[in-house]
Structure 1
Amino acid sequence: MSTLSEASRSDGMEADMLPDSGTELPRLDIDEVNKEAEEFSTKEDLVGYSIKTSRTSLTTSRATFSRTPSNMIAQPEDEDSEEDEHTHSSVLITELQIEDAETRDEVHQEDVEKQEVDSLYDQLMNEPVRKGEIKVILYDDKPEEFYETDLESEAEEEEDFVISYYKTVCEQLGQVPVAYFLHRIREPTIRMRYRGLGNEATKAIALALKESVTLERLDLSGNWIGPDGANSMARLLEENDYVTDVILSDNKMGSEGGEQIAKMLSINCGLRRLELSGNDFDDKCAQNFALAIENNKYLRELNLSHNRFTELGAEYLGQAIGSNENLDVLDLSWNHIREAGGIAIAKGLKENVRLKVCNLSWNGLGVKGSLALVDAMSSNQSITELDISGNRFTQEVATGFAKVLSTNDTMKILRMGNNLITSAGALALATGINNAQHCEMEELDLTDVPVEYEFLRTTEDVKSTRPNFRVKHGPIMRAGNTLQDISSPAIDVEKIKKEPVVLLKEHIIVNDFRLLDILKRYDENSTLSISAEDFIAALEELAVPYDKKRLESSVKAFAATSTGKIYFGSFVSAEHKKQMAEQEKVS
């Protein structure tokens, strides 16, 4: 009783009522405390009273008794009561409040951190800025709180809506949402190749992307979506014109799926590139695609390779190619077009004025179908790249293309590998490119076509005037593989490098630079051209062994030009030209 009286006489003084952590808390008798407080209030005019339990641990709650001013308590009317210095030092317990010690620590910590940030901010703002310095103010808060806008919140809400809509559709279709797709649903390019999606998962993806305005390129190759998945993709592309590039190769759409995609092409205005290879499309699909090619004014690239188009399908496609004025790239490789189909396609190419890249490789066009292409290329001035590899044609076709290249100034890439054109056909192509003044050829692909040494010399001549020219060929033979080459001597490349003069069909190779000095003496006008007789005389003056009869026939053949002379400037290498120029300066 005396302890409580002494505690109540000092305003704000606290008495620890709880022991340390780990010990059992004593029970507080509220009735007894109130009774004792009443007794003190009658004797000493108590104003208020408080008892606070001490903190035992971070998880221990604190019991706090709130103070009530004495003027809110009825004062007893006792004239004998004496007032002393402790009249306003007491309180009356009126309610018990419980607060968490951990919460108070967190609030205190936040206040301390805020004071530190404010202090740092004031320090940076008041610090003078020297010339050439940049003042950086760092905030301890989250950056998005300073830059948050209504547009960002709307985008987040819309994104959440698209994702939730996709999940809802998957739930209705009994599909598990594709996590890869969820993470990239807002990206401009979605590439999901060979993931085994199937038609139902494809349907959910198509429905989720129907209203997308960010998607530009979609690649779902190798997912076996079938006709139903093709129908879902067709519905997507009919309603969404923001998508410009779609790849649906190797999906086994079949005739039914191809029909749906072809109908979509007649409606869609956004697609610029569409790849549909390996989908088992037949001639009925070819007819539908032919109509789509004629009607669509926006598509630029179409890949229909690795399907089952035959001569009949090629007839439909050939007519569409002739009337189309918008398609730039067409790939019909690895179908079954054959000779009749090749003739139909060639007819369309002859009339076309827009197509730039055409791939007809591995279609079995044969000699007749390939010769039809030769005729088409003689008048076509738009094709820059033509691939007719693996089409079973012979040297006759290669010779025909060599004549075309001598007058064609638009063809840049020609691929004719894996055909029976022989080494003579390869040489004819290289010679035609070398002799054409306006030919713009950049690449000649003769993969697996055997060539001879003279072909290499001719291509070197081409590279001397066109440094960017590239050529691919098969094995190098010591002799040609035509009937005319049966009795001709074989050429040893290593031996050729040691001989002073080598006579080929189209070339005279000079390895001894002394001959060039002799030829220069016979060139009185410095035109690097001499007569056939002077060339033979210079070679005899060199006194090296050679086949005189063969030399005379070869030299006369070279001299059978409009000038009647042999130009030996091509014999001179860049290094030798440099030496000759230095000698002229010294002299």
Structure 2
Amino acid sequence: MTTMENTTHGPNSVETFVTSPSQAEKNYNHYDPTRERVPHKVEGEDDAYNNSSTDSSDEYDTDLEVEITGKPSSKTGGETDPDVICRDVYGRWCDKYPSRHKPFPQSHISKSLSEKTLHIKHRSIGGPAMFPISAALTNNFRVQKLDLDGADIKEEGVIYLVKALVDNVTVSHLNLSNNNLEHEGTQWVAYLLTKNNFLKHVNLSGNKIQDRSAYHIATVLEVNKSLDHLDLSHNQLGEQGIKLIAAALAYNSCLKTFRLNWNHIRRQGAVALSQSLKFNDCLRLLDVSWNGFGYEGSLALSKSLKENKTLRELNLSNNRISWHGALLLSRGLKLNVGLHILRIGHNPLTTTGCHDIVNAIAAGSSQIKTLDLEGVPIVAETEILSSFVRLKRDFLLLHGGIVYLPDILGERRERKKDHMEVVMEYIKATLTRPLEMLKNFDKTTSLVISQDEFVARLVKADVPLHKSEMRILANAVADKGRQSKTGSVDYKLVPIIVIINLLTKTTVNLVNFLPEISNSTVFVFIQWFYFHSFEIYKRRIIHSRGRDVA
């Protein structure tokens, strides 16, 4: 196998090879399809080729005899049409292949040379067979689509093909899927795409492309200005390779469809690809199904969906996205205004995750018209919610069936608030100063409140707690905080700490004053009391000083 030293030289120069050339490269340099439509005699060629008065039927025994000799050809000096010339070139170069293993002409290929699509699908013709086909394509202005799926041309065949297509202005669709191109063949295709500005649709699926080929693919995304469809599915691109491709994709200005399904995209690769969508403004379809986006990819994708406005279809099927990831994606979908089709089936979303996604589509500014949750069951509430979306616009929900009970995994239950948290929320809502609230509870101004009085004052203040819960709270404060022998609530330390901090302008750790506090909630409550009071005193001092200066 060979490598290219500098792609700027192109395959037209022997200098591009840094190792001894293979037979394919020798043939490649020997073959020059830029000659006349009917090539000149090569060295050692039979003079019978140039005999204008004889038939060429004895040169080789194939099924192309009638097609080649049925009309006057350039060999006879008569008038010809382009179709006959292409078929004639194909037949000639099958015989002139400079190797013992010459490819046999095929009538199917010969006929297809005069059609818009050249089908050589699943024929396993091998690399040598591309030698005469490339010669015929050089001056062919009929073929617009070239389908070589499963032709097994490998690197040898790609070399011939690149020579023919590098200056071609007719072929716009090139299917090279399942041809075992690997790294070397991918290099040649990348070179072709950096030179040819007429190819729009390229399929490189199933070619064992790995991370070391990612640089060449990234170069194509940076340089090429005509490619709008690229298929790299069923390859072996991993994290490092996808990071290179994602960096180029972020600023690509022409690609509209990008298929990366069935690769090894996960973690850093998934994050990098998701982040590229923040900057890309031309991609319409992205297929990353059958990868491993997981939680990390979902988080990055959620942020990108909030900003991307051009992506229309996203396929995230089979990506190990759990209900955590579904919750993250729902936040991005709620603000996304461009996406129309989302496929996220066959993921462990659970019924909760499905409901979060549908709820985001219903409640936010989303314009999604098709939501594919194939293989994932939903609850009846989710189906009802989707019906409300249909009242606004056309909406299709595909799912794995309706179940009566939600999944235990992912079920979201509301956490019951602690009693002290309820009191803290009440104080914030009423803008009450904590220290003054305690003083209002303490009618005797002794800085000690009995538990009964504490509960009575909470009831009078309309704190949203049941009386039994207030009793539990009073016991917790009395038992765990500073308390008198009678079990009353003692709040002497609160004003002392405030005064100390006002004088020293430092923060005093309450743990030094209340070492016996073990209940974290009570500690947070008292700590919050202190800070709230301290801020009020500080503002009063600043205000009074400003007034004095004025």
TM normalised by structure 2 equals 0.58
Q: 1:327 aligns with which of 243, 255, 276?
A: 255
Query: Whole-Å Cα distance in 1 between the matches of residues 103 and 159 of structure 2?
Result: 18
| Secondary structure at 1:318 match in 2 | helix
Matched, 1:414 2:338: no
Q: Deviations over 1:445-501 (max 9, x none)?
A: 1111121111111122222322x322211132110003575999xxxxxxxxxxxxx
Offset at residue 295 of structure 1 (A) = 0.4
Partner of 1:401: 329
| Secondary structure at 1:351 match in 2 | coil
Query: Whole-Å Cα distance in 2 between the matches of residues 434 and 370 of structure 1?
Result: 20
Query: Whole-Å Cα distance in 2 between the matches of residues 156 and 423 of structure 1?
Result: 69
Query: Whole-Å Cα distance in 2 between the matches of residues 300 and 487 of structure 1?
Result: 47
Q: 1:474 aligns with which of 400, 407, 416?
A: 400
Partner of 1:317: 245
Partner of 1:440: 367
Query: Whole-Å Cα distance in 2 between the matches of residues 216 and 201 of structure 1?
Result: 20
Letter of the aligned partner of 2:159 in structure 1?
N
279-288 or 231-240, larger mean C-alpha shift: 231-240
1:439-458 → structure 2 map (5 Å cutoff): 439-458=366-385
Q: Is the 8 A contact 2:172 2:201 kept in 1?
A: yes
Partner of 1:230: 158
Give the 4+ runs in structure 1 shifted more than 4 A: 483-488
Offset at residue 156 of structure 1 (A) = 3.7
Q: Is the 8 A contact 1:423 1:482 kept in 2?
A: no
For the structure 1 residues 372 and 166, does the alpha-carbon distance in structure 2 shift closer, same or farther, using more than 3 Å as the test? same
Q: Deviations over 1:175-212 (max 9, x none)?
A: 21111111121111122210121111122212211111
Q: Would you say how many aligned residue pairs link Structure 1 and Structure 2?
A: 334
Q: 1:163 aligns with which of 87, 95, 101?
A: 87
| Secondary structure at 2:387 match in 1 | helix
Q: CA RMSD in A?
A: 2.0
Partner of 2:469: none
The unaligned stretches of length 5 or more in structure 1 are 1-152, 489-587
Q: Deviations over 1:338-386 (max 9, x none)?
A: 1110111122221111111111111112211221111111111111111
Query: Whole-Å Cα distance in 2 between the matches of residues 319 and 403 of structure 1?
Result: 25
Query: Whole-Å Cα distance in 2 between the matches of residues 469 and 204 of structure 1?
Result: 52
Letter of the aligned partner of 2:372 in structure 1?
D
TM normalised by structure 1 equals 0.55
Letter of the aligned partner of 1:318 in structure 2?
A
Matched, 1:339 2:267: yes
For the structure 1 residues 155 and 245, does the alpha-carbon distance in structure 2 shift closer, same or farther, using more than 3 Å as the test? farther
Query: Whole-Å Cα distance in 2 between the matches of residues 305 and 154 of structure 1?
Result: 49
Query: Whole-Å Cα distance in 2 between the matches of residues 267 and 322 of structure 1?
Result: 21
Matched, 1:303 2:240: no
For the structure 1 residues 184 and 156, does the alpha-carbon distance in structure 2 shift closer, same or farther, using more than 3 Å as the test? farther
Q: 1:380 aligns with which of 308, 321, 332?
A: 308
Partner of 2:196: 268
| Secondary structure at 2:114 match in 1 | coil
Query: Whole-Å Cα distance in 2 between the matches of residues 485 and 318 of structure 1?
Result: 35
Letter of the aligned partner of 1:447 in structure 2?
E
Q: Deviations over 1:502-523 (max 9, x none)?
A: xxxxxxxxxxxxxxxxxxxxxx
Matched, 1:215 2:139: no
Query: Whole-Å Cα distance in 1 between the matches of residues 405 and 340 of structure 2?
Result: 29
Q: Is the 8 A contact 2:298 2:329 kept in 1?
A: no
Partner of 1:573: none
Letter of the aligned partner of 2:396 in structure 1?
R
Partner of 1:391: 319
| Secondary structure at 2:202 match in 1 | strand
Letter of the aligned partner of 1:448 in structure 2?
G
Query: Whole-Å Cα distance in 1 between the matches of residues 410 and 283 of structure 2?
Result: 39
1:126-275 → structure 2 map (5 Å cutoff): 156-173=80-97, 174-275=102-203
Offset at residue 427 of structure 1 (A) = 1.0
The alignment-based identity, stated in percent, is 31
Query: Whole-Å Cα distance in 2 between the matches of residues 389 and 320 of structure 1?
Result: 24
Letter of the aligned partner of 1:305 in structure 2?
S
Offset at residue 161 of structure 1 (A) = 2.3
Query: Whole-Å Cα distance in 2 between the matches of residues 445 and 386 of structure 1?
Result: 10
For the structure 1 residues 452 and 155, does the alpha-carbon distance in structure 2 shift closer, same or farther, using more than 3 Å as the test? farther
Query: Whole-Å Cα distance in 2 between the matches of residues 452 and 282 of structure 1?
Result: 42
For the structure 1 residues 486 and 344, does the alpha-carbon distance in structure 2 shift closer, same or farther, using more than 3 Å as the test? closer
The higher relative CO (CA closer than 8 Å, separation ≥ 6) is in: 2
Matched, 1:465 2:465: no
| Secondary structure at 1:423 match in 2 | helix
For the structure 1 residues 486 and 461, does the alpha-carbon distance in structure 2 shift closer, same or farther, using more than 3 Å as the test? closer
Offset at residue 400 of structure 1 (A) = 2.3
Offset at residue 431 of structure 1 (A) = 1.5
Offset at residue 154 of structure 1 (A) = 8.4
Query: Whole-Å Cα distance in 1 between the matches of residues 410 and 197 of structure 2?
Result: 58
The unaligned stretches of length 5 or more in structure 2 are 1-76, 415-550
Query: Whole-Å Cα distance in 2 between the matches of residues 397 and 155 of structure 1?
Result: 68
